[in-house]
Structure formats: structure tokens, C-alpha cells
Amino acid sequence: MRDLKTRSLRIYRDSVRLHIKPYMGEWLVGEATTGAVDRVLKEHRDSGRDTSALRKQLNQMFALAVRHDALASNPVTNVAKIKRRKPKVRILADTAQVAEIRGLIEKWETKDRPGPKASRDLRDLTLLLMSTGARIGEALALRWQDINLLAERPYLMITGTIIQEKGIGTWRQEEGKSLQATRPLEIPPSVVTMLLERQMAQGHNPIDSVFPSRVGTWTPYSTMYRRWNDATRGTKYDWVTFKTFRKQVGTLIARELGAKVAKDQLGHANEVTTETFYIAQSVDAPKVSGLIEKFIRDSAPSS
């Protein structure tokens, strides 16, 4: 298994470059008061970004300064919790729109173009994502050994994810994004059929990948992003991403079975994340008129 420290270091460096230096890069250490940090975090939130990761990183930075006597106390400690503003979760309106998107993908895969003939990878990956709500990295990390198509209720196991590292390449991480990411997902008959067809057409590959690259390696998610963008660019669906399907699945399950089931399906640590970022608000008014009418009738004064 590869050392993840390199990836963590890159994430921290990117955060400093993109989110810390623009706000406080010119500060002296002593200028980092609780009020000043509070204002930075609120500006960060107001720009539409999540403040939790930035707060954690600033806390670690100033804790180091305290340990080395550059500061008497950590200014982040007393910053009030910055409330997230619930974003508007956008999903596809109905099955007709989903059908149109699937049609766009098929049209893109079958059109004449120079070079090797396009595979069914994007079409099949899209079907898998809109049927399970899996992350794209999880789907591309699937191995045939993770799938049971013969069970009474066919399922797949999410056991890893695809990682892309600059200077290292693409590889399969043998664990998910979180402890909750490792999970079984039931798959519907249409996906069973698709996977059986892929298995028969594909044959053996050395890494046992369900979606291997043309040269038999793990497929980078950037490759699938590029194909998706090519297929949807200039259409009314150019706002749709692979993550849209996670929100679609989360919303569908939450409305029928509740947020907890949606949380488990998507592999989140808590329902708050699911409800805040992955469940679209219903446009239908609650169906309570019958209940209220009964209450009004029963409470009417007797004549």
C-alpha cells in the first residue's frame, strides 16, 4: 500500500496556497487574534466554501505556534462555531431528463471520431452511479471479486477508491474515504445485466478491474470526467456531474425510506452531511389537508 503522507502534504499545501495565504498571508503572528480569525472564517463561508477543514488546519498551525512560544494562546480555540449555510441541492427533475442524459452518452459513444472506437465505459459507469449513488472513485475501484451477481439479492461491496497523485500516477487505495465508506450496495436487475455483459465481453484482466483502462491499469477518474464533459458540453445538462447522481440517489431513498437509509447508502458518517448536501428539498406541499380537515371537522362547535 502506498504511503498516503505525500497526498496529505499536497492537500495541506494546496489549502495554504488557495485559502490561507490570500486571507492572512501578510499577517504577523501577533495579528492573529480570535476576532481576526473569526472574520476570515466567515469570509470563507460567505464565499461558498466549507469552513470546517480550514478551521482545523488553522487550529493545527496556531497550536504549533503556541508550542514554540510564538503565541501565548491559540486564537482559533475561542472562535464561535461558524454555521454552514445550507446549499440548494440540485437534481434532475424527472426520469425523462435522466433518459435524455443517457441518450447523450450513447450518442457520444457511438459517433464517428478519429482514433480507437469509444468503449461502453462511460455509459456503464453512468448507469452504475445513478443506480447506487457510489462515488466515482469507488466505482472505478470495483473489482469483480467485490461483486456477487448470483446472490438472491445481487450486491457489490465498496472496498476501496481510486487515487490520482501528481508525480505518482493512478492507484487503488485499499480503503474508502471513511470508515463508513466500506459498505455493501444492492444492485437492481438492469445493473446486473450490464455487469454480466461487461464480464463476458471483457474477459480476464490482471488487476480484476470492472472498469480497466485500455492498457489494463486502473482508470483515472480524470479520464471519465473528460469523457463526461465532452458528452454534455453545450447541452442543457452541462451542469450535471457524476456527483449529481449521488444526490439523486440520496434524495430518492430519503423520500421513500428516510435519511438514515440514504446516509448508509451513500457511505456518510452522519445524517447531517446527507441531509445538508445530498437531499433536495421537495417541491410538493406536505399532504396534510385531509388530516387538518378531520381536525377542523371534529373540533367544530355542535349546533
Mind listing the pLDDT tens digit of every residue in the chain (303 residues)?
444 445 567 677 777 887 788 888 888 888 889 998 998 888 887 776 778 878 888 898 899 999 999 999 999 998 888 776 677 899 998 999 999 999 999 999 998 877 777 789 999 999 999 999 999 999 999 999 999 999 999 999 999 999 988 788 999 998 777 678 899 999 999 999 999 999 999 877 899 999 999 999 999 999 999 999 999 999 999 999 999 999 999 999 999 999 999 999 999 988 988 988 888 877 565 666 677 678 767 767 765
Judge contact between 70 and 29, C-beta under 8 A.
yes
Amino acid 289: pLDDT:
67
Phi first, then psi, for residue 211 (nearest 5°) are -125, 65
Amino acid 1: pLDDT:
40
What are the residue ranges spanned by the domains of the chain?
5-67, 95-245
Amino acid 144: pLDDT:
97
| Three-state SS sequence of the chain | CCCCHHHHHHHHHHHHHHHHHHHHCCCCHHHCCHHHHHHHHHHHHHCCCCCHHHHHHHHHHHHHHHHCCCCCCCCCCCCCCCCCCCCCCCCCCCHHHHHHHHHHHHHHHHCCCCCCCCCCHHHHHHHHHHHHCCCHHHHHCCEHHHEECCCCCCEEEECCEEEEECCCEEEEECCCCCHHHCEEEECCHHHHHHHHHHHHHHCCCCCCECCECCCCCECCHHHHHHHHHHHHCCCCCCCCCHHHHHHHHHHHHHHHHCHHHHHHHHCCCCHHHHHHHCCCCCCCCCCCHHHHHHHHHHCCCCC
Amino acid 303: pLDDT:
58
For the domain made up of 95-245, the CATH class stated in words is mainly alpha
Residues 6+ away with beta carbon under 8 Å from 76: 34, 37, 55, 58, 59, 62
